[in-house]
Amino acid sequence: MSNPSLDVAGIQVSADHYINGQRVASSETFPLHSPIDQRLLGHVSEGLAEHVEQAIVAAQKAFPAWAALGAAGRKPYLDRFADEIGKRADELCQLESNDAGVLLSRMRNGVVPRAMLNIRWFAEHALELQNRTLETDQASHLVRHDPAGVVAIITPWNAPLMLSTWKLGPALASGNTCVLKPPEWAPLTCSLLADAAHAAGLPPGVFNVVQGSGANTGAKLVSDPRLARISFTGSVPTAKWIAQAAGANLVPCSLELGGKSPFVVLEDADIDSAAATGALMYRNAGQVCLAGTRFLVHQRIADRYVEALRAYVEKLNIGDPRDEATEVGPLIHPRQVERVAEYVDRAVAQGARLLWGGARHGFGAQYYQPTMLTDLRQSDEIVQNEVFGPVLTLQTFESDEQAVEMANGTDYGLGGVCYGEQTHAIAVAEQIRTGFIWVNSFGIRDLAAPFGGIKRSGIGREGGAWSFEFFCDVKDVVVPKKPFKASFSHR
């Protein structure tokens, strides 16, 4: 596409919106800095009321024809969309590494292939949605999954490409048209997604991108009564605001929110394996919603476990995310570094003990040391609140009952990890109240599986059939098996 306005690491990327198949510039912009070295990457268009309006109108206009194509008609477009994402793999890796600080190696090996799969998988599985029939004694129920209309998609900065495609895939495959509002701290890969969609020939208006801040652009978008769905991933305070805006218009919304997930190490766990996995919780500088950030370790093995984990943590390679060898990169924004440092300082002032870390890391201004705090009470702020940085807590327990009580002892309920002898670990995992939990493993995901949290970690599930249920209007066309006789006494 024409009109590239930024040059990031030699890659041309538009800083403008993408509305109705065209780039649209704004009279207002916001600056974008790299978390690696704070250099100015450029200025990005701020979505004003007129842009939100144009995008919604374009999506509304494009909806009937896109919906009428049916899943089979849409699939070739979406397969080409996935192909075009693949053709831009190098650019996408560089852009998200530069604007979000995500490891280049992780982008290449995990995120970009997953982004392609997010589009391809749902395009394929949408074919199965059509014409399900439920037979009962009285009737055939033709259960249709009809596209709902215009969908607003709002994503956070810690995984913009992955999360945007995770929502776009099912929303588009089931026949909706979309307006995506990317995160203002990491907007570039979503802009390149628009190029991929354009090159794939997606009809104008089917997929629109409006850049901008949450408080301004995002708030205008989610308050619009013409939306059929809102799919949001982000923080609890924003979700509460969005739920109110959506509620005012009775627009269904899916909310994938933060976590304070337990990482339970039972007495019969393989300590080395649990320690190797434990060190992964510092991935993306701890800015991972599903990380197990509260370590709960059986008292009898706690000392051995701490030393095993320490050995892995000491070996972590902290540095520039663009370097192949780097394992932990920067935090997204100076405000996030400040927030993390304040959390740790307050915890220490209130009596917590540092096992390691606890200060900024010398590599750069937005780096913080992998940190572990212990000597904590369950009610402590650092145990209860999501920090979203490389800061973990460690508490010990003496019985499974106590482990479960502590694991369940926060308002969050996203995920969890449980290490122990397999049967034992499953039994404990089953009692932990979260949307998902990994037994003797971490991070295994499949697009067919449900994903989402309970309690303050979210409302609704996405993934597989759950995504389709959310993005579709389910309708029962009831066809009687015997001729119907009208009667007032009939139920």
Which residue of 169, 175, 258, 389 would you call a contact of ligand NAD, by CB under 6 A? 258
386 part of the interface to ligand NAD, by CB under 6 A: yes
Nearer to ligand NAD, 238 or 395 (CB): 238
> Which residues ranging from 264 to 323 are in contact with ligand NAD (CB under 6 A)?
289
Nearer to ligand NAD, 75 or 114 (CB): 114
> Is 398 considered catalytic here?
no
Beta-carbon contacts of residue 125 (< 8 Å; ≥ 6 apart) = 173, 448, 464, 468
- Using DSSP's 3-state secondary structure scheme, residue 478 falls into strand
366 part of the interface to ligand NAD, by CB under 6 A: no
256 part of the interface to ligand NAD, by CB under 6 A: yes
- Decide: 204 and 125 in contact? Cβ < 8 Å: no
> Which residues ranging from 133 to 162 are in contact with ligand NAD (CB under 6 A)?
154-159
The Cβ of residue 89 has, within 10 Å, a number of other Cβ atoms equal to 16
What is the Cα–Cα distance from 77 to 475, expressed in whole angstroms?
A: 26
Q: Which of 93, 253, 289, 472 is catalytic?
A: 289
Determine the length of the chain: 491
What is the nearest approach in angstroms of ligand NAD to the Cβ of residue 174? Answer: 20
Q: How many residues bind ligand NAD (CB under 6 A)?
A: 31
> Is 289 considered catalytic here?
yes
DSSP state of 218: I
96 part of the interface to ligand NAD, by CB under 6 A: no
Binding mask 198-217 vs ligand NAD (x if CB under 6 A, - otherwise)? ---------------xxx--
Q: Which of 256, 267, 386, 462 is catalytic?
A: 256
> Which residues ranging from 17 to 46 are in contact with ligand NAD (CB under 6 A)?
none
- Decide: 125 and 71 in contact? Cβ < 8 Å: no
242 part of the interface to ligand NAD, by CB under 6 A: yes
The residues with which 229 forms a beta bridge, in sequence order, are 151
Amino acid at 450: P
Token digits of residue 368: 């913080």
DSSP state of 9: T
Whole-Å CA distances, 25 to 5, 22, 188, 461: 10, 10, 15, 35
Torsion on CA atoms 413, 415, 418, 423, rounded to nearest 10: 90
Gap between the terminal Cα atoms of the chain: 60
Closest-CB residue for ligand NAD?
214
Nearer to ligand NAD, 155 or 369 (CB): 155
The residues with which 144 forms a beta bridge, in sequence order, are 475
329 part of the interface to ligand NAD, by CB under 6 A: no
What is the nearest approach in angstroms of ligand NAD to the Cβ of residue 338? Answer: 14
- Sign of the alpha-carbon torsion through 445, 331, 157, 346: positive
CA 357 to chain centre: 27
Which segment (43-51, 61-69, 167-175, 232-240) binds ligand NAD by CB under 6 A?
232-240
What is the nearest approach in angstroms of ligand NAD to the Cβ of residue 322? Answer: 22
234 part of the interface to ligand NAD, by CB under 6 A: yes
Which parts of this chain interact with ligand NAD (CB under 6 A)?
Answer: 154-159, 181, 183-184, 213-215, 218-219, 222, 233-235, 238, 241-242, 256-259, 289, 386, 388, 414, 453, 458
Annotated catalytic residues are 256, 289
